[in-house]
Amino acid sequence: MFNIVLFGPPGAGKGTQSQRLIEKYDLVHLSTGDVFRDNIKNQTELGKLAKSYMDAGRLVPDEVTIDMLRSEVTKYSAPKGFIFDGFPRTNAQAKALDVFLASLNTEIKLMLALEVTEDELKMRLLNRAEVSGRPDDANISVIENRIAVYNRETAPVKAYYEDKNKYIAIDGIGSIDEITHRLFASIDQVI
Ligand code: ADP
């Protein structure tokens, strides 16, 4: 399996670029945010729990997120690989992911990190609010909280993959196509 973590702050373009990557490399896109939103829509117990955290721009607790991720991955039989989008978001999640993938005889090949300035992120998220209907995009103080949580809890995950020589930074400013080609070029060097 060829597994990638697509990393970056909220609004960096992970979801958009994931769609391009799964088409080109025939991978499964696994976005923890999307899975939580599906659960909210279907009013599951997991959805009810996740909603309170998401609406405040906080992280859903690790145990809940890790359990959910494991059960999502095992839904697929013999995939070519996964693009993990929005996961891992803490060092504990990164460690749990390694242990879990090792139990499946596979691993993360690389982390591609989209780099975007904070001003650009805020602008993108506020614009997205007009079409996404996401409550966590509609409010500037929730957006600021998500960025703060990212800087405090998620940005350190970068070092976890840097230590393993798996980290690649990608300039996330430019047209969608330009960024896609930067991602393709990095993947093609490893695949
Ligand atoms: P964005 O990257 O735009 O913030 P996501 O759709 O990835 O959006 O995530 C939305 C929300 O879902 C997060 O703010 C958080 O509350 C929750 N969430 C998603 N992934 C995780 C995760 N790996 N760990 C904890 N919470 C998560």
Q: Is residue 190 part of a domain?
A: no
Q: Are 64 and 90 in contact (CB under 8 A)?
A: no
- The domain in which residue 70 lies consists of 3-185
Q: Is residue 70 part of a domain?
A: yes
Percent of the chain with pLDDT over 70: 100
Q: Is residue 60 part of a domain?
A: yes
- Number of structural domains the chain divides into: 1
| Structure confidence at residue 51 (pLDDT) | 97
Instruction: Name the residue with tokens 């799964």.
Output: 22
Q: Are 187 and 112 in contact (CB under 8 A)?
A: yes
Mutate which of 36, 49, 122 for ligand 1? The one with the most ligand atoms within 8 Å of its CB, which is 36
Is pLDDT at 191 greater than 90 in this prediction?
A: no
Q: Is residue 191 part of a domain?
A: no
Residue 41 confidence class, pLDDT cut points 50, 70, 90: very high
The CATH number given to whatever domain includes residue 90 is 3.40.50.300
CA of 189 to the centre of ligand 1 (A): 29
Which residues carry out catalysis?
Answer: 14, 89, 128, 134, 146
What's the mean pLDDT when you consider all of the chain?
A: 97
| Structure confidence at residue 143 (pLDDT) | 97
Q: Is 10 in the pocket of ligand 1 (CB under 6 A)?
A: yes
The full 3-state SS of the chain, as one line of letters, equals CCEEEEECCCCCCHHHHHHHHHHHHCCEEEEHHHHHHHHHHCCCHHHHHHHHHHHCCCCCCHHHHHHHHHHHHCCCCCCCCEEEECCCCCHHHHHHHHHHHHHCCCCEEEEEEEECCHHHHHHHHHHHHHHHCCCCCCCHHHHHHHHHHHHHHHCCHHHHHHCCCCEEEEECCCCHHHHHHHHHHHHHCCC
Q: What is the pLDDT of residues 56-84, one digit of tens each?
A: 999 999 999 999 999 999 999 999 999 99
Q: What is the pLDDT of residues 1-33, one digit of tens each?
A: 999 999 999 999 999 999 999 999 999 999 999
Check: pTM over 0.75? Answer yes or no. Answer: yes
